[in-house]
Amino acid sequence: MSRRRFGRSMMTTVALVAALALCGCTLPGPLGHADPGPKVLFFDDFDGPAGAPPAAHWRYDVGGGGWGNDELQVYTDSPANASLDGDGNLAIIARGEADQRITSARLTTRGTMDFTYGRAEARIAVPAGAGLHPAFWLLGSNVDTVGWPQSGEIDVIETLNDARNYHLGVHAPKPGSERGQEVSTSAVAPHPLAGEFRTYWVERSPGRIVMGIDHLPLFTVTPAELASPADWVFDAPFFLLLNLAVGGSWPGPPDASTPNPSIMLVDWVKVTEL
């Protein structure tokens, strides 16, 4: 009996193969694994106990009190300004100190992780308040040797004050210009930003940079957007930065309404191949 069943099964299979051959079809392949998706080059989900420092691949830029746009904050490596919150987030904290100083943090992957082509994204809840300027951005890995803006800068997200608008753009080196050529866009955000987790991302491919929020592309730049003699320097390694600046010529000063402390929360950061 078992032989007859086996024989029928074989005959059915042969007939099926013949029928599929006549119609130009093929048998389905063996069941395999699901597509794993893009290769992950870097990932940090900031899991850990409250008060713990971020992983060692994050380093600190320390100093300030006049960096960038004449900003007021001094960046430190203190857990009071950058630490895990115990709920799976990195907290970057700006504080008005008793001595009238403002301290904050700027974290970077300089020297630990950079990439040329791929997608860098971070899920961030930016703060709101007079004088606040949170940012997720990239700098060319050669900045220590060639300086800025010769290294190039990619601003994935910047908000100011009440965080109703977003700012995305790049700085490219341009002979005779101290700040290079800026190509950017600023607009009202498609969704509330302050206090809400949103995914901010940049995709870098040869001769092309695309940035957006959540699933919405919002800004594209190619060499064609640069005015001669600005240089396209973006097909090279760049590293990541996260920071919360305060005051300066762009957002203006903080005031009595500015939350103290002000907190920028980062749920995760990821870099993948395209």
pLDDT digit string (tens) for 166-199?
999 999 999 999 999 999 999 998 888 999 999 9
| Angle in degrees, CA 118, 121, 123, rounded to 5 | 165
Task: Report yes or no on 7 lying in a domain.
Answer: no
**What percentage of the chain has pLDDT greater than the value 90?**
84
CB 166 within 8 A of CB 143: no
Task: Report yes or no on 19 lying in a domain.
Answer: no
Catalytic (active site) residue 273: no
Task: Report yes or no on 154 lying in a domain.
Answer: yes
Which is the catalytic residue, given 158, 178, 225, 273? Answer: 158
| Both structure tokens of 120 | 């860098």
Mean pLDDT of 83-102: 97
Catalytic (active site) residue 153: yes
Task: Report yes or no on 13 lying in a domain.
Answer: no
**Nearest 10 degrees: Cα torsion 62, 156, 168, 119:** 160
Q: What is the value of pTM for the model shown?
A: 0.87
18 pLDDT above the threshold of 60: no
Task: Report yes or no on 187 lying in a domain.
Answer: yes
Nearest to 14 by CA among 27, 2, 29, 28: 27
**What is the tally of structural domains in the chain?**
1
Q: What pLDDT band is residue 34 in, cutting at 50, 70 and 90?
A: low
Query: For residue range 118-130, what is the model confidence (pLDDT) as tens digits?
Result: 999 999 999 999 9
Task: Report yes or no on 87 lying in a domain.
Answer: yes
CATH number at residue 116: 2.60.120.200
Contacts of 259 (CB under 8 A, 6+ apart): 127, 129
Which is the catalytic residue, given 71, 153, 196, 273? Answer: 153
Domain that holds residue 101: 33-272
Contacts of 36 (CB under 8 A, 6+ apart): none
Task: Report yes or no on 89 lying in a domain.
Answer: yes
Task: Report yes or no on 18 lying in a domain.
Answer: no
CB 229 within 8 A of CB 184: no
Q: What pLDDT band is residue 117 in, cutting at 50, 70 and 90?
A: very high
